[in-house]
Amino acid sequence: MSAASSDSAEIATASKRPFDPYLADPSPPSKLQRFSQSDISPADADSGGEAGAESEAMAGARLSRTQRYLVAVEYDGTRFSGSQQQPNQRTVVGVLKEAFHKFIGQPVSIFCSSRTDAGVHALSNVCHVDVERISKRKPGEVLPPHDPEVVKCAVNHFLHKNEGDIMVTDVRCVAPDFHARYKALERTYHYRLLSGPERPSIFEKNSAWHIPEDLNIQAMKKACNILVGHHDFSSFRAFGCQAKSPVRTLDELTVTEVFPVMFFPSSLERSEMESPDGSLVYSRASLMGSSGEGSDVSSTTSGKSVCENGQEFGKRLRHRCFVVTARAQSFLYHQVRLMVGLLKAVGIGDLTTADVERILDAKTMTAAPPMAPAYGLYLDNVKYDPTV
């Protein structure tokens, strides 16, 4: 028996065992039957009046048994060839469709709120999928829709058996006409930058853009202020962009210095960052002291473990970590990465704020400096009407 058949049988027979939310839905079966095209006679399909009304009612009854789910997923984009399905490529939508197929036993269509390129990560990308729950023991018998938590656990069960680099984080039932892409009110992206002369840790591989030079964060903030607002962003639009208009409203573009993700405090930092009750106290002084140019002044050393330059043997200098945040209802193709590329050029002194204004006003795809690589970009959140 194949692995796929084994997984399907495992879920199908879950009702014979104690309930496991990863594998089964405890809802009692319904006796509703699926309608097929053969159930509607030619007379019903072609005639009007009462027969037509009955036909529409039957179609509506069937549609009412198909549940549309809104599904939030997070993924490490390193081994994905983007989010949209492509032939002979591993994609986010392709992997999700495979997991849903194994779960419900039939193919589904999945529509994402935001398209991400190869290498781009997502803390929360959102998609919608229609699921009709058909009994595996009695083919043709339609059962009540799965509870969202069951969908989440069951799909994750199969995703975990894949590469383990994608996970469903939330599931919600929505109306049949709800569209994950067109109903989105706002999208937020983050881009991580590591500044420092040393090569980044292997634990930071494919998670941030390393800039060997120091970054002038104040100059970058001024550049952000120029780009925020309602503009023609043709200079920040890559070839192949299918948007009808280059005009967008950029609601937020900021640069913030943050703790590195792989942050392990030294003994001095541990004493400075922890309050008497054990809660974290953010100390910018301790962060800057240990991440600035030169040596890690917060490190404890002993005479036998120190090199000539005073740096503790085996301890690496920390990089300064910056996060660029961009928020808007929608973005042009590669707009965020092109803006980050511009901010980096400003940060290292290659461009000035006057250059930023000139590039924005040029309204041409060749005006901006090279865009930032994909692996530092994260889709953080897709916002919808809270009443959904």
pLDDT tens for each residue of 284-342: 554 544 444 433 333 333 333 444 555 678 877 888 999 999 999 999 999 999 999 99
Give the integer Cα–Cα distance in Å for 200 and 191: 16
pLDDT value, residue 109: 95
Q: Which percentage of the chain shows pLDDT scores above 70?
A: 73
Give the integer Cα–Cα distance in Å for 297 and 289: 6
Per the CB < 8 A criterion, the answer to whether 332 and 246 are in contact is yes
pLDDT at 211 over 80: yes
Give the integer Cα–Cα distance in Å for 53 and 76: 49
Q: How confident is the model at residue 281 (pLDDT cuts 50, 70, 90)?
A: low
CA dihedral angle for residue 11, residue 16, residue 22, residue 28, rounded to 10 degrees:
90
pLDDT per residue over 74-133, tens digit each?
999 999 999 999 999 999 999 999 999 999 988 999 999 999 999 999 999 999 999 999
- Listed residue (318, 326, 324, 124) closest to 217, CA to CA: 324
Please compute the mean of the pLDDT values over residues 23-51 and round it to a whole number: 37
CB atoms within 10 A of CB 44: 16
Average pLDDT, the chain: 80
Look up 7 and say whether it is catalytic: no
Active-site option among 76, 117, 214, 232: 117
CB atoms within 10 A of CB 167: 15
Residue position matching structure tokens 């961009």: 326
State the number of CA atoms in the 13 A half-sphere of 52 facing the CB: 4
pTM: 0.76
